[in-house]
Chain A
Amino acid sequence: MRRIFAQVRKELTQIARDRLALVLALALPLGLMLLLGNSIALTVTGVPIVVQDLDDSPASRNFIDAFRESVTFLVIPWTTALPPERAFESTKARAALIVPQHYGRDMARGLTTPVQLLVDASDANTAKLVQGYAGEIAANYQPAAAPVKAEIRLWFNPGRESKKFYGPGIFVLGISMFPPLLAALAMSKEGEQKTILQVYVSSISATEFLLGKIFAFLLIALAEWCLSMILLVTYFGLHLAGDPTPLLAATVLYAFCVASFGTLLGAAIPNQAASIQAVALGGFLLVFLLSGLIFPVSNIPPQLRWISGLVWGRYYIEIVRDALLQGGGWPAMWFNVVMIAVIGAVFYLLAWKKMRRMQLSV
């Protein structure tokens, strides 16, 4: 026990001495959250749209007002003399709405009246969303009191703010990257500077040595977690929904998991530059791409989808989102907690296997 404690103290002292490491551990994750939290947004708002009202009746103006009211569109004045395609060419607008003549008369007679929507589809994803939103507005447009009215309520994230959805994801990304990075650096440095020999000469066991190292970086991960959590609550406007115990249990296990991951890579690669790359590849790419952080797991091609079942970040992202948005608690999340524990244990065992002999491996 004392040796584990000595190991923890030594690692933390080394980190505290290294300004760069401290920035990596604590400041960079916050910066990353602010940057990515604000820049990733897959919803569209304020799409510039030109409107040509060939009817120019009270009814048509009323219909166009429905577009003006929507946050999705920003109506740009356009004379009827110019073809709307010009607006696309000069990138003044991404869409055009053309209301035909006789619109008011047809509406008054109760006839179905087609209006034309032109969409710049060079950005296919935005085009699709614009098409959807425009269709929705047109379909919901009820000039007079309608017999049935659809009342839509958005749950969990009523403002559909992507910040609230991506914030937790990037938060997990930070924890998946920086603590293991530091752990891997600390471990490979021992090999590179040959200080590992001092450890080998003492009779400290692999278990004591590894637990000491891992515990130190687990503490770093938890410190980072606390700071990032404060940012989630204050800046991202999230708060705990429901039972926090699954989140707390999963957090400690996840911190162990990522610290073990870094330590394993550092032990396997006694070269600082190479181990950084390994962590970046494992910690960043896997968690960024295959964990549902940005693309839903169901969108990953089925041949590759099984990989995401092995990505530790995926389970933790679901837990964090659940704790901050849905609040499903243990019944919804127990499997994820178990999976994090299992993957963490595998990392630890591999690291132990690598270090088991506590000898130069020749």
Chain B
Amino acid sequence: MSAIAVDALTKRYGAVEAVRGIGFDVQPGEIFGLIGPDGAGKTSTFQILAGVMEASGGKVEIFGSPARDARSTTGYLTQSFSLYPDLTVAENIRYIGDLRRVTPHDIDDRAHRYLSMFDMDRFTERLAGRLSGGMKQKLSLACALVAQPKVLLLDEPTTGVDPVSRREFWDTLAHLAIEGLTIMVATPYLDEAERCHRVALMHLGEIREMGTPAELRGKLGAKRLEVHTDKLGDAEEILLRRSSEGQEIVDVQRFGDRLDVIAPDPDRGRKVVEEALGSQGLKSDVFRVDQPTLENTFVATLRNIDRGKSAEPPAYPGKHPHRDLAGQVAIGARELTKKFGAFTAVKDVNIEVKYGEIYGLLGANGAGKTTTIKMLCGLLGPTTGSMELAGEKGSLRSREVRERIGYMSQKFSLYDDLSIDENLDFFAGVYGVPPEEREEKKKWVLAFSGLEGKQDLITGSLPGGWKQRVAFGASILHEPSVLFLDEPTSGVDPLARRAFWRMINKLADMGTAILVTTHYLEEAEQCNRLGFMVAGELVAEGTPQGVKSKRGGHLLEFLVDQPQRAADLLREKGDRWRVSLFGDRLHVITDDDVETGKKKTSERLQSAGIQIREAYEEPYSLEDVFIVVVEKARQQGKFAKED
């Protein structure tokens, strides 16, 4: 019997059809991923599966009984975690356990088991509201698990959670699946979707593609070329134009120091790239040919569906470029330190960002990124250290400085009870946008957000991803020369994320200095320079390529027959962080040279009877680098405040 059986499921809200006859089966012990752009109908599907909302039509069964009757066998995690912030960790678990009629003895037992499994048994008496994002997420998972459900429904459980915690979370899920738990998960992070057994791509209430990650990648029938060139912005434009003319290039995406070009035939693709760029006098170098990622597939599929519609957002009506400033220092921080009482949130941070540069600030939850940003943009005075902002050293909050900076905060919300139009009018007013430019700018924000003609909607009624787009648009209405973006793309779907980054790149090309934080490390590749923060200190800095090559050791990828057992085995002896699991592939970081490392690891695995299909060296991804940096800093005694 299938664990989850969905057939011809529909859901209507008034005239709006959110789910239009979807069907799928999930087998026991399977991790099934649901991906799709904002507003695809994922949350509605989850709510119906969890039995908290009625379907308009169709069949939803969990182990053979209707979803509503099967509630005692399902666990449900929402985006907002649904925890009681004023109860402690133990009390939260206790309450949910009681609601689900678990005996007090079993509650204690399982609470202990899962909390120690998640490495948070020290925090049982802490209030849930005072946990970090990663901890909250693990606690809500513990709450869901206390009733020992057979099916786990996770609706974007990792939004706003840092990469280290996300990786741990997925390791836990893999374990639970092996124990027989069926897991269905929605995620905006496509690297996470790679760890699912099967994935369904949902769009406008319908399932467009379904299969294993490898099948989906294969369906694209193309390869990914990494192209290095000197003028990325121009090269991207040229190649995009070229891709719409012929079939040789499917898609082009810009990263910090390279372009990814998707081409059905790598050899012809390479030739087309060289010709197209060469004819414009640009040098280029294709330095790697690789499999496309799931994200490439996602974007290509959605582009296919939307073909015909104008995919390109209208040009940004920038009237006041800052190109003449290029090369000057926009943000200069020296020895910034911030103490809150006895607690040092930020310690001796030096950051310099020039006009036209994109600087990415990375770090785990609680590493001090938001405090740093607040100091850099003058919202918070440092305890010690000096600051320079937009050419001003003294009063960072003067009117002139404030008019030149833009700030989109993590929780920056527009006014929920105003319409989109009213919000934009308000921000255009406070930022002093010249009246004759307002109409055009507002129109642009609406087009950029995909909300043309919907300016009278109440902002509070928009899904998170859309609100984020409007908020981003509002923060650049006044064409600031220095822009601070604190997790601008959190909870935004991959397609919109690309639009964000194209815009960010365009702003940088116009001379804007941009400082951005993000938990999506693949998009951090688009920054010109990166800084890693651990426990309030800046521990590493450089270009994406630079920080990767600075890492000692090598990253080895193993294709094995029992990936989870292999991962557990390797973690038993050795550092946990050196091993991570990506679907059926195993990443192992070794300090030896490639051959020795390959040999040592292979021997360990083979002695336990695990078959190795393939083993090779992989280039570091930024996420690997991030994890190594954080772990090394921790070993040197730097801990986030939570520990």
- Chain A residues close to B by CB (< 8 Å): 2-3, 5-7, 9-10, 13-14, 17-18, 193-195, 197-204, 359-360, 362
Interface string of B51-89 (1 = CB under 8 A from A): 111100000000000001001101110101011111100
Total A-B residue pairs with C-beta atoms closer than 8 Å? 78
B353 at the interface (CB under 8 A from A): no
A-B contact pairs, 20 of them (CB 8 A): A3-B98, A3-B101, A7-B99, A13-B86, A17-B127, A193-B82, A193-B84, A193-B85, A195-B82, A197-B47, A200-B50, A201-B50, A201-B75, A202-B72, A203-B72, A359-B52, A360-B52, A360-B53, A362-B13, A362-B53
Separation of A10 and B76 alpha carbons in the complex (Å): 20
Which residues on B sit within 8 Å (CB–CB) of A13?
A: 86-87, 91
Q: Is B96 a contact of A198 with CB atoms below 8 Å?
A: yes
Are B54 and A359 interface neighbours, CB within 8 A?
Answer: yes
Is the CB–CB distance between B80 and A202 below 8 Å? no
Q: Are B82 and A194 in contact (CB under 8 A)?
A: yes
Asked if B101 and A2 sit within 8 Å, CB to CB, the answer is: yes
With both chains docked as a complex, state the minimum distance between the C-beta of B422 and any C-beta of chain A, in angstroms.
Answer: 20
With CB as the reference atom, state the residue of chain A lying closest to B153.
Answer: A201
Q: Within the complex, which residue of B50, B72, B86, B100 is in contact with A18, where a contact is CB–CB below 8 Å?
A: B86
Whether the pair A197, B86 counts as a contact (CB closer than 8 A) is no
Q: Closest Cβ of chain B: how far from A20's Cβ, in Å?
A: 11
Chain B residues near A14: list those with CB within 8 A.
84, 86-87
User: Once the chains are docked, how many angstroms separate the CA of A362 from the CA of B13?
Assistant: 7
Interface centre among B13, B52, B99, B127 (most CB of A within 10 A): B99
Contact call B52/A10, Cβ cutoff below 8 A: no
Chain A residue at minimal CB-CB distance from B147: A202
Cβ–Cβ contact A10 & B95, under 8 A: yes
- The answer to the question of B143 belonging to the interface, with a C-beta cut-off of 8 Å to chain A, is yes
Which residues of B from 213 to 265 have beta carbons under 8 Å from A? none
Residues of chain B lying within 8 A (CB to CB) of residue A6 = 94-95, 98-99
Residues 87 to 145 of chain B near chain A (Cβ within 8 Å): 87, 91, 94-96, 98-101, 127, 143
- Closest chain A CB from B460 CB (angstroms): 11
A7 to B98, CA, bound (A): 8
Considering the chains assembled together, what is the distance between the CA atoms of A31 and B98 in angstroms? 38
Q: Which 3 A-B pairs rank lowest in CB-CB distance, beginning with the nearest?
A: A6-B98, A202-B99, A200-B52
The complex places the Cα of A202 from the Cα of B95 at a distance, in Å, of 11
State A212–B292 Cα separation when bound (angstroms).
Answer: 54
B147 cross-chain contacts in A, Cβ below 8 A: 202
Q: How far is the CB of B136 from chain A (nearest CB, A)?
A: 12
In chain B, positions 385-423 with a C-beta closer than 8 Å to chain A are none
B residues within 8 A CB of A18?
86
Q: Which of A10, A197, A360 contacts B91 (CB 8 A)?
A: A10
Nearest CB in chain B to that of A195: its residue: B82
- A360→B47 contact, CB < 8 A: yes
- Chain A residues near B80 (CB-CB < 8 A): 193-194
B91→A203 contact, CB < 8 A: no
Q: Whole-angstrom distance between the alpha carbons of A201 and B74 in the complex?
A: 8
Q: Which residues of A contact B85 (CB under 8 A)?
A: 193
- Given A10-B91, A197-B76, A203-B71, A17 contacting B86 (CB threshold 8 A): yes
> How many Å from the CB of B58 to the closest CB on chain A?
16
Q: Complex: how many Å from CA A17 to CA B53?
A: 32
B100: contacting residue among A10, A202, A362, CB under 8 A: A202
Whole-angstrom CA separation of A349 from B289 in the bound complex: 68
The docked-state distance in angstroms from the alpha carbon of A14 to that of B128 is 12
Contact across chains for B98 and A2 when beta carbons are under 8 A apart: yes
B83 — which chain A residues lie within 8 A by C-beta?
Answer: 195
- Give the docked Cα–Cα distance between A9 and B86 (Å): 13
Min CB distance A199 to B, Å, is 7
Chain A: CB-nearest residue to B54:
A359
Tell me which residues from 18 to 66 in chain B have a Cβ below 8 Å from any Cβ of chain A. Answer: 47, 50-54
Nearest-neighbour CB distance to chain B for A354, whole angstroms, equals 16
Determine whether the beta carbon of A197 is less than 8 Å from that of B78: yes
Write out the residue numbers on chain B whose beta carbons fall within 8 Å of the beta carbon of A10.
84, 87, 91, 95
Beyond contacts A3-B99, A6-B98, A193-B82: 18 other A-B pairs, Cβ-Cβ < 8 A, are A2-B98, A5-B98, A6-B95, A9-B95, A10-B91, A14-B84, A17-B87, A17-B127, A193-B84, A197-B47, A197-B76, A197-B78, A198-B82, A198-B99, A200-B51, A202-B99, A359-B51, A360-B53
A1 to B54, CA, bound (A): 27
Q: Is the CB of A359 within 8 A of B127?
A: no
Contacts of B54 in A (CB 8 A): 359
Known: A6-B99, A13-B87, A17-B86. A202 touches B71 (CB 8 A): yes
A194 touching B78 by the CB < 8 A rule?
yes
Q: How far is the CB of A197 from chain B (nearest CB, A)?
A: 5
Residue from the set B84, B87, B91, B127 with the largest chain A CB neighbour count within 10 Å: B84
Distance in angstroms from A3 CB to nearest chain B CB is 6
Among candidates B13, B53, B86, B95, residue contacting A359 with C-beta atoms closer than 8 Å: B53
With a cutoff of 8 Å between Cβ atoms, the chain B residues found around residue A2 in the complex are 98, 101
Residues of chain A contacted by B53 (CB below 8 angstroms): 359-360, 362
State in angstroms the CA–CA spacing of A34 and B101 once bound together. 46
Which B residues touch A197, using CB under 8 A? 47, 50, 52, 76, 78, 82
B96 contact set on A, CB distance < 8 A: 198, 202
